[in-house]
């Protein structure tokens, strides 16, 4: 209970890194596994900034058996001299002072990344210990530890064990080595994901041409080196593996305009959706922003001018739209600039208005120059042919939509007998369960809370949209029903503000067919409603595999084979019911295991690496059978613990 008095002595002044320790979420977003990797990225990004500014060409990342991680670069090394204002060395300032660093001006770094945090000091604050070595002719060393304050009993973070020491040991190396051990009392898990780290390191190697990134995991003796001398060109080729491209070599350009360095690579495929991924100072911007707007407008303008020049468009013809040129486009755009302003739900949208004209200008000028190269005439003809074909489909689809809009009864008719809508008027409170099969759908309709839970049974497998044009997609009954139920539209007409249900829950059987339905739906959402995933509205329901009953009294639901084994070891012999599908559950069982917000297991679908997700969808859902077989062969490990057993309830 709050006390009645409120005096100056009640105001807490958090000194040094105490603020980070008390409210870590303010600095790294979350203390989940995502936050754990965030403190690693802060150190990695410092090294990459050295590379991006021309001072470093090699980075080593290592995981150790004791749970610690290290990052070493061959850059200039953190300053070891005394900071005049702070009265301590630059190393101590960097690791103990918030908002301290050499990146606030342009003298030392033209461009810098960082994941919108406050750098190395946060990593130090959230670690049991951190050790740093700086190589500048000799080796300098310093160590920091979290320790308990004897007076207050509280943990004080990142305390220097001793001042920076010049060991006098000579070295030919240059740069900085940082090793730290995440604090297990702060994070939900301190187990780094090798897969997550590899994805980010590969991405950084693509974005920084010629940079060598060396990764080693001491636990498994796993070693991997990334280095791409083609940079963004190699990145686009990697994303287009398994796709049929319209031309062999991606188009590439790099130029600076008004202090904004713009670099992009593009290549068209025979696909029907685009794959555009943007970065600012090596940071992914999945929500887009001004740089993407400038790039798209530049693409549209320069290609339309070329289309008229080559008589693809007559004077009376309307211009092609940006969507026409986007169809089948794979593009990477990397922008480097100072004073970056991020916006959006997850601070991954570029807000700097000066980026738009700069990127548009570079895009137009670079592509105009490439269009003058007669050797590339066939390339641009292929692009225009693709745009013309897309325009025809777009106009046909537009007519179909106009007919549908002319009669609202058509849209509502699609849902008659299918959607059991909820009565709630607040979308943020409402949930839509997309359920596999009429049988499970019937149980779900009986079990639901009508005020906020809606049920949409699927009567067949959804369409694989990866292989279909937009007009074919709109004709598919299951997909059309989902579009109507959500109310957002799709593709370029997608409007998240019209979403009727803020939780969209895929509920399918825990078998191969159920997994197939999940991936088909997720492919559709990723390609045509991506912001639905980006904004955290898509979930996967986790039905149990077993129902264990002891002496006809105690009932427990188990979600993995390992949970079953542990339960049997704990309680001994009991009656086990194996659910083959959702249809085997009655309404009461479905409610208490899968639909009750207090008890159910839900897995939120996120996109940590949109570019990699794009490539995997192409591999898994595209036409290249050999690539799909190879992926399954490389990634299947049936001995591993079921990953769903670690999912948290939400």
Q: Which is the catalytic residue, given 436, 609, 612, 614?
A: 436
Q: Is 511 tagged catalytic? A: yes
| Structure tokens, 127 | 């670690």
Beta strand pairing status for 251-257 and 575-578?
A: unpaired
Check residue 113 and report its DSSP letter.
-
Q: Which is the catalytic residue, given 81, 511, 575, 596?
A: 511
Q: What are phi and psi of 114, to 5 degrees?
A: 90, 145
| Structure tokens, 587 | 């309404």
Determine whether 196 is exposed, middle or buried from the number of CB atoms within 10 Å of its CB (0-12, 13-18, 19+). middle
Dihedral sign for Cα atoms in the order 37, 38, 44, 48: positive
HSE toward the beta carbon, residue 314, CA cutoff 13 A: 2
Q: Which is the catalytic residue, given 270, 513, 561, 596?
A: 513
305-342 burial, b for 16+ CB within 10 Å, e for fewer? Answer: bbbeeeebbeeeeeebebbbbbbbbbbbbbbbbbebbb
Instruction: Tell me the C-alpha to C-alpha distance, in Å, between residue 639 and each of 562, 628, 643.
Output: 11, 21, 11
Q: Is 436 tagged catalytic? A: yes
| Contact criterion met (CB below 8 Å) for 96 and 152 | no
522-555 burial, b for 16+ CB within 10 Å, e for fewer? Answer: bbbbbbbbbbbbbeebbbbbbbbbbbbeeeeeee
**How far apart, in whole angstroms, are the C-alpha atoms of residue 297 and residue 385?**
19
Q: Which is the catalytic residue, given 73, 234, 509, 563?
A: 509
Instruction: Tell me the C-alpha to C-alpha distance, in Å, between residue 580 and each of 456, 511, 577.
Output: 21, 8, 9
Counting other chains too, the contacts that 11-16 makes at CB distance below 8 Å and 24 or more residues apart are 16/96, 16/97, 16/156, 16/157, 16/158
**How far apart, in whole angstroms, are the C-alpha atoms of residue 125 and residue 156?**
9
| Structure tokens, 339 | 């004073």
The torsion region of residue 500 among left (phi > 0), alpha (psi -120 to 50) and beta comes to: alpha
- DSSP-derived secondary structure for 380-430: HHHHHHHHHHHHHHHHHHHHHHHHHHH-HHHHHHTTTTT-B------GGG-
Q: Is 513 tagged catalytic? A: yes
| Contact criterion met (CB below 8 Å) for 212 and 226 | yes
Determine whether 499 is exposed, middle or buried from the number of CB atoms within 10 Å of its CB (0-12, 13-18, 19+). buried
- Per DSSP, helices labelled H in 141-264 are 194-207, 232-239
Task: Report the DSSP beta bridge partners of residue 256.
Answer: 261
| Contact criterion met (CB below 8 Å) for 197 and 605 | no
Check residue 252 and report its DSSP letter.
E
Query: For residue 46, what is the enclosing H or E element?
Result: helix 33-52
| Contact criterion met (CB below 8 Å) for 247 and 271 | no
Catalytic residue set: 436, 509, 511, 513
């Amino acid at each position: 209970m709050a006390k009645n008095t409120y005096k100056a002595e009640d105001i807490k002044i958090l000194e040094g890194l105490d603020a980070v320790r008390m409210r870590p979420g303010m600095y790294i977003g979350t203390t989940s596994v995502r936050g754990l990797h965030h403190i690693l990225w802060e150190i990695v990004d410092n090294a990459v900034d050295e590379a991006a500014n021309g001072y470093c060409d090699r980075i080593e990342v290592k995981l150790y058996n004791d749970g610690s991680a290290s990052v070493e670069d061959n850059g200039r090394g953190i300053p070891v001299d005394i900071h005049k204002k702070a009265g301590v060395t630059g190393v101590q300032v960097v690791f103990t002072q918030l908002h301290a660093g050499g990146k606030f001006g342009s003298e030392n770094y033209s461009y810098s990344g960082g994941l919108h945090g406050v750098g190395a000091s946060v990593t130090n604050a959230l670690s049991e210990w951190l050790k740093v070595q700086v190589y500048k002719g000799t080796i300098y060393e310093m160590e920091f530890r979290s320790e308990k304050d004897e007076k207050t009993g509280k943990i004080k973070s990142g305390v220097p064990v001793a001042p920076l020491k010049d060991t006098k040991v000579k070295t030919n190396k240059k740069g900085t080595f940082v090793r730290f051990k995440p604090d297990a009392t702060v994070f939900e898990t301190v187990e780094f994901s090798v897969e997550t780290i590899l994805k980010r390191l590969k991405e950084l190697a693509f974005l920084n041409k010629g940079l060598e990134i060396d990764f080693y995991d001491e636990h498994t003796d796993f070693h991997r080196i990334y280095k791409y001398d083609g940079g963004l060109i190699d990145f686009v080729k990697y994303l287009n593996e398994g796709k049929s491209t319209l031309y062999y070599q991606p188009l590439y350009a790099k130029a600076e305009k008004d202090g904004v360095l713009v670099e992009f690579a593009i290549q068209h495929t025979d696909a029907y959706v685009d794959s555009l991924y943007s970065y600012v100072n090596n940071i992914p911007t999945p929500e887009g922003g001004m740089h993407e707007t400038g790039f798209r407008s530049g693409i549209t303008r320069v290609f339309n001018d070329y289309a008229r020049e080559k008589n693809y468009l007559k004077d009376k013809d309307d211009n092609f739209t940006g969507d026409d040129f986007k169809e089948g486009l794979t593009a990477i755009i990397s922008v480097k600039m100072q004073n970056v302003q991020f916006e959006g739900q997850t601070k991954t949208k570029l807000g700097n208005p000066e980026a738009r004209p700069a990127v548009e200008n570079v895009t137009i000028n670079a592509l105009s120059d490439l269009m003058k190269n007669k050797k590339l005439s066939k390339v641009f003809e292929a692009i225009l042919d693709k745009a013309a074909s897309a325009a025809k489909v777009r106009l046909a689809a537009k007519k179909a939509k106009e007919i549908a809009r002319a009669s609202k009864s058509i849209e509502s008719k699609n849902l008659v007998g299918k959607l059991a809508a909820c009565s709630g008027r607040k979308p943020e409170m409402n949930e839509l369960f997309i359920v596999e099969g009429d049988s499970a759908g019937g149980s779900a309709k009986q079990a639901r809370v009508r005020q906020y839970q809606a049920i949409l049974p699927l009567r067949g497998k959804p369409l694989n949209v990866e292989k279909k044009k937009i007009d074919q997609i709109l004709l598919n009954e299951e997909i059309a029903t989902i579009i109507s139920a959500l109310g957002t539209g799709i593709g370029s007409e997608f409007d998240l503000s019209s979403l009727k249900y803020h939780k969209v829950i895929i509920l399918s059987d825990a078998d191969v067919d159920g997994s197939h339905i999940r991936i088909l739906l997720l492919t559709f959402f990723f390609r045509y409603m991506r912001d639905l995933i980006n904004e955290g509205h898509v979930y996967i329901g986790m039905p149990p595999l077993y129902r264990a009953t002891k002496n006809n009294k105690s009932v427990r639901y188990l979600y993995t084979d390992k949970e079953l084994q542990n339960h049997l070891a704990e309680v001994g012999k009991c009656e086990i019911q194996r659910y083959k599908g959702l249809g085997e559950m009655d309404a009461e069982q479905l409610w208490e295991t899968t639909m009750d917000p207090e008890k159910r297991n839900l897995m939120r679908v996120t996109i940590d690496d949109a570019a990699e997700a794009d490539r995997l969808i192409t591999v898994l859902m595209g036409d290249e059978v050999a690539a799909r077989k190879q992926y399954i062969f490389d990634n299947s490990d049936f001995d591993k613990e079921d990953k769903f057993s670690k999912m948290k309830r939400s």
